[in-house]
Structure 1
Amino acid sequence: MSREFTGLKGNVTEMEKCLSVCTDDIVLFQAKVETMSKELIKLENKCEDLESGSRRNNLRIVGVPEENILSPTDVSALLMEAFELEKEPLVDRTHRTVAPKPNPNERPRAIVARMHNYAVCAKILQKARKLQQIKMRNMTMSVFPDHNAKTALARAAFNEVRRLLWGIQGVRFGIIHLAKLRITYEGVQHDFVSPEKAKAYVVYLFLCLI
């Protein structure tokens, strides 16, 4: 029994040493994972910013039937007619969004148009926000910025708050780069990245104005 106890004691001692080494390794790995997670977030944000920058001159045109095969020249003429521009804007290239071709009774895929000049692109988007929908050539067309999926979802999260703001007089609001809601009331600006916090502020503002 004494020999067995001595052997077990030696085994326990070895196990303690192994566990101590494993614990040190786990602590080291946790620190590395935390560092790598922070770096990953930085890289994701940088990639998102680069992708958003590459889409800066893009327009997303919704509502154009699939049978209309539009070249850059056709899209240029379409935009000139829709927004009553003085001259046809220069369009570098156009393509339909990457998705299976819909059936005749389904919603057509959007057209992504790469504009040559950002100032012209911004001007068209400004007019598009005012007009909302444009009825022409037996179709109802809308034009939006071409955001990536993550940014589009983040901006869409503010839709409910924006609907609430439409009913408040004297309040200016809008989505600014990339997905931040800016609310201006009595000359004071408030920026929100959280839809929940923005909604709480709007409810408070609405109660104060009653």
Structure 2
Amino acid sequence: MEKEILTLSGRSEDLEARSRRNNIHVVGKEEILKAREMERTPEGQSEQILIFPDYTQEVNSKKAAFREARSLLWTCTGVRDGLRYPATLVITPEGG
């Protein structure tokens, strides 16, 4: 039963992730609405508009596990980092 529950749980997570694949998560939603009303972009405002992929809660928690390691990598010069779906840390040295 436990094996079947794990299999079904994995399938459910996969289906939810696929259904969100074309969605985006916008931070600064209010600024976009204000700009739309004024028919221009929000220039010179301190608020930022950020756009992120809409991941499931499970994927977000897996990505959050890399937060400390990524913050250490940000202090290193000549090193780039990124996360590939679902949560694989990729480190690229300067020059590839």
Residues 163, 37 of structure 1: CA spacing in aligned structure 2 closer, same or farther, 3 A cutoff?
A: same
Instruction: Give the corresponding residue for 1:181.
Output: 89
1:61 equivalent in alignment to 2:2: no
Residue among 147, 150, 158 paired with 2:66: 158
Q: How do 1:14-163 and structure 2 match up within 5 A?
A: 36-65=1-30, 68=33, 136=42, 138=45, 139-163=47-71
Name segments (4+ residues, structure 1) moved above 3 Å: 184-188
Residues in 1 aligned to 2:11 and 2:91: alpha-carbon distance in whole angstroms: 26
The AA in structure 1 aligned to 2:10 is: N
- 1:62 deviates by 1.0
Number of residue pairs matched by the alignment: 90
Overall identity of the aligned pairs, in %: 41
- 1:48 deviates by 1.0
Instruction: Describe the SS at the equivalent of 1:41.
Output: helix
Structure showing greater Rg? 1
Q: Where does structure 2 lack aligned partners over 5 or more consecutive residues?
A: none
Instruction: Give the corresponding residue for 1:172.
Output: 80
- 1:151 deviates by 1.0
Residues in 1 aligned to 2:83 and 2:13: alpha-carbon distance in whole angstroms: 17
**Structure showing greater relative contact order (alpha-carbon pairs closer than 8 Å, 6 or more residues apart):** 2
More helix by share: 1
What do residues 89-120 of structure 1 show as CA deviations (whole Å, max 9, x unaligned)?
xxxxxxxxxxxxxxxxxxxxxxxxxxxxxxxx
Instruction: Give the corresponding residue for 1:118.
Output: none
Q: Normalising by structure 2, report the TM-score.
A: 0.73
Q: Normalising by structure 1, report the TM-score.
A: 0.37
- 1:186 deviates by 7.6
- 1:161 deviates by 0.8
The AA in structure 2 aligned to 1:51 is: E
Q: Where does structure 1 lack aligned partners over 5 or more consecutive residues?
A: 1-35, 83-135, 189-210
